[in-house]
Amino acid sequence: MAKEKGAPEHIAVIMDGNGRWAERRGLPKIMGHRAGVKAAQAVMEAANAFGVKALTLYAFSTENWKRPKEEVGALFGLLQDYIDREGGKFVKKNIRFRAIGRIKDLGAPVRERLERLERRTKDNTGLIVNLAVNYGGRPEIVDAARALAADVKSGKLRVEDIDEDLFAGYLYTKGLSDPDLLIRTSGEYRISNFLIWQIAYAEIYVTKKLWPDFGRDDLKKAIDEYRRRDRRFGG
């Protein structure tokens, strides 16, 4: 399907509310995360159908390591199982998968699966799905600054060459346009250290729906709201 006029090219999503979804149903928190995985799959398929070019999903932040070890282990187990079971769908549906964040710091089982799925889908030409894992906006900027400083030190760059466009090329999202629309579920009004460079001019859409209840119709509603807004970029 061709992208509708005025629809966002890049959508970023803070997938919030899995734990509360489970708690309200008297279920273990891991069941909320399982339901959240299904919601993520539905939103990816909807974004692909709506002609969105890039979708960035906030899956696990650098701060999430503070959670109980059992929950963290279960989360990464879910991610590994998902890639094993559903990775082939990315190939069949022409979706390109990318993992962004401090991926090298992850354990080998999950890191190798993420990297393998990236390789399998690198030539796909449809929707780009960025999964933010072990991701933080401030760490991303620090990593970019370190890489930039190393290139200046080595003589590859001059300090006077540095501008916003060049700096953006050192971020995890290099090569992609900045998000046009940021969606946050569960009714919280904060960005939680997510894409803090890239969302400088993103439209923000907040819904009280918990992430496991967010689906195709909800994504369409967010896109419709985005299309009604007047983006002036400070002008």
Query: Active-site residue numbers?
Result: 16, 64
| DSSP letters for 30-41 | HHHHHHHHHHHH
| DSSP letters for 193-204 | TSSTTTTTT-EE
CA pair distance 189, 184, nearest whole angstrom: 8
Q: Is the dihedral of CA 60, 100, 150, 193 positive or negative?
A: negative
Q: What angle do CA 131, 224, 203 make, to 5 degrees?
A: 55
**Residue 142: in which H helix or E strand, if any?**
helix 137-154
CB 18 within 8 A of CB 214: no
